[in-house]
Structure 1
């Protein structure tokens, strides 16, 4: 009897121990992956992943041979000027070079002897078809009415040694040119112009980020200046969409673009963009980031427009022992300080609610409401745009 009692007691204790064991959690932890989106290995893996679909894209032309044209595409700018480059049965007459980027050479060219048809040729060695893929993703994901704000790639020719991307060409220079056009005469861009271009940039990123695309190199020399085909009215700022009729900027150079959809959900990135003055706070502190690379770039561009120089940031005490980031330079008292303070505070100190697209939209609407609050602001904007266009076209 005593033995039976001990066995029963042992059984009770074992059952109690089993009950005490922690149950497997029904809440699955989100996978957290950190990747360098621009490393050679990542880019190689991504290009392999998309290779099948890449071949099916309209305008994609690939050859396993090296480029064998009469004029080497990697020649100096002067050597290529006034020369003809034949690609895919078309003849491109090199008229000059708008500039050279960190990763490629850029040429302005007419097509098949038609001086009215001007394109940009982007030559890259070694061959790099990724940018063409990004342009085609923009074609797919961005609505037709807003698509002109992100540039177009007509085709790409990929050889064993080099690639040539054929893009549309816009004649009015970059936002950096516009900023510098004021600095060379000892002035800064007028606040109304700064607001106009800030609205453009906010709308750009709001649209891009909502479809899982990161530009990755958001700076003023990657934004081409456009001029509306019609006079801007307050209705322009009441609209929730942008179109070619009221477009002010065109974002180009997608070689550093990131397609978030190609990575597992929850992936964050750990790498430095390598562009002086444009490394976001997370990069500076060696923390992971996602869309901050673009929103920080927007802040730098806004700062350059307002102050005529790149942004330096300060880490200042906040409430409850926290801290926050803000630009070191103060705002002029005659600016709309509340608007600018809200912009920099929001974008330099992103919340953890995961709704940064909503923040971009809210900021954009605040700037638009201000432009609608006084029609004289719109009148002044049209005058400033006309003056700037005349200045840049004559330079």
Structure 2
């Protein structure tokens, strides 16, 4: 029963399972390979209904059929295939896994209402009605607060990380999230049998199943206020290593940010910004599957952890923010002084180079400026052999970027100043090349 019966007629009569032919036009197995399977399924259904088959042969036939056509673009939106999936899930009684596989293969996503096969209509209508009332309430509230001006939906100064702001943004991007490959969402709680612990070694070598994938936990790679990051092997394969970011409460924002990077960063530079493969969103937590980066050197420098990234495309032009990230060592001067900021949070973040120079987080002090007033500077002094003036200029410019400064021009000028210095002496380039070769050899050892 693992393959269709090739002796079926060229034109099939209507089946007991109410499967229709495309456009109600006669077809042949050569034109429509699915017909062979439909005829075999009809025969198997007849045997099962008459008691001549326990259902095992029919289950295998249905399983083989969905496997044969799940990645076939010709049948991806064919309602007949959708109904075969439903029969397969009914006989296998594995609804959650079946629906997830359907979603991953994009089976009839344009006819998603047809997915309500085993649903309870009354409960479904009640939920839809409650969602409608909530949405209408938000629209009325928005109209009362912003009037007819839709260009400033959040006000002049907002906290981009507040719960109210994030709630609005997540609803705004929800339709995009649903289209992203690797995004899986359910209203159920995480049902994994292995309880993930923040203790570094308590989850070691435990295997968990997320969706249709199995991951062997190697250990806890990091921990924050709301999330833990685990190093894991995919299907117990040590050559396929990923990071699992478990977050409570569930928070899909970072997955959205990674996909924005896919769209906005050139292929040449994309590897410098981390990569997310999958997002599993449960009612009680979210699990982000992303690249695990082992080496911590400048040659493999990669910007990760986009949980607090800000998508400026979602805000009006010339928007200024007023909020505090509350993360020690990463609060820009404007946050510390409760002043508005925009890209100062990024220029301040670039001062992470302070860690490479001094092996410590940067501390700021105010000093009198030659032009009058005060400027922000790093408290740490520079060694003379570091080319102190070059570094001093870097920190001064990054720490004193105004709210309306041309940040792109600022960064271009700083980059050119370092390039000019390196190119001013061939020995400097030769020395740098030698150090890079030595570092690569050390990393490969």
- Aligned to 1:58, the other structure's residue is in SS state coil
- Aligned to 2:384, the other structure's residue is in SS state coil
1:253-268 to 2 correspondence within 5 Å? 253-268=305-320
- Aligned to 1:274, the other structure's residue is in SS state coil
Distance change (3 Å), C-alpha of 1:44 and 1:74: farther
Higher relative strand content: 1
Q: Larger relative CO (CA 8 A, sep 6+): 1 or 2? A: 1
Shift of residue 106, structure 1, vs aligned partner: 0.7
1:62-141 to 2 correspondence within 5 Å? 62-74=185-197, 76-141=199-264
Query: Separation in 1 of the partners of 2:371 and 2:197?
Result: 58
Distance change (3 Å), C-alpha of 1:353 and 1:294: closer
Distance change (3 Å), C-alpha of 1:351 and 1:77: closer
- Aligned to 2:190, the other structure's residue is in SS state coil
- In the alignment, is residue 287 of structure 1 matched against residue 339 of structure 2? yes
Corresponding residue for residue 409 of structure 2:
358
Corresponding residue for residue 205 of structure 1:
none
Shift of residue 131, structure 1, vs aligned partner: 0.4
- In the alignment, is residue 37 of structure 1 matched against residue 122 of structure 2? no
Report the count of equivalent residues.
293
- The Cα offsets for residues 317-370 of structure 1, whole Å up to 9 and x where unpaired, read as 224532212122222222212211221121111146531111111111211222
Contact 2:367–2:376 (Cα < 8 Å) also in 1: yes
Query: Separation in 2 of the partners of 1:75 and 1:344?
Result: 37
- Aligned to 1:160, the other structure's residue is in SS state coil
- The Cα offsets for residues 123-164 of structure 1, whole Å up to 9 and x where unpaired, read as 111111000000000001111111100000011101111111
Contact 1:172–1:393 (Cα < 8 Å) also in 2: no
Contact 1:108–1:119 (Cα < 8 Å) also in 2: yes
Which stretch of structure 1 is more off in the superposition, 31-40 or 53-62? 31-40
- Aligned to 1:79, the other structure's residue is in SS state coil
For the aligned residue pairs, the C-alpha RMSD in angstroms reads: 2.2
Instruction: Report the structure number with the largest CA radius of gyration.
Output: 2
- The Cα offsets for residues 147-190 of structure 1, whole Å up to 9 and x where unpaired, read as 100000011101111111000112214xxxxxxxxxxxxxxxxx
Q: Which 5+ residue runs of structure 1 have no aligned equivalent?
A: 1-29, 174-224, 228-247
Corresponding residue for residue 297 of structure 1:
349
Shift of residue 374, structure 1, vs aligned partner: 2.7
TM-score, normalization: structure 2? Answer: 0.62
Contact 1:172–1:226 (Cα < 8 Å) also in 2: no
Contact 1:172–1:389 (Cα < 8 Å) also in 2: no
Shift of residue 97, structure 1, vs aligned partner: 2.0
Contact 2:199–2:220 (Cα < 8 Å) also in 1: no
Distance change (3 Å), C-alpha of 1:55 and 1:311: same
Shift of residue 380, structure 1, vs aligned partner: 3.0
TM-score, normalization: structure 1? Answer: 0.69
- The Cα offsets for residues 38-75 of structure 1, whole Å up to 9 and x where unpaired, read as 11111111111111111111111001111111212356
The partner residue of 1:310 within 353, 357, 361 is 361
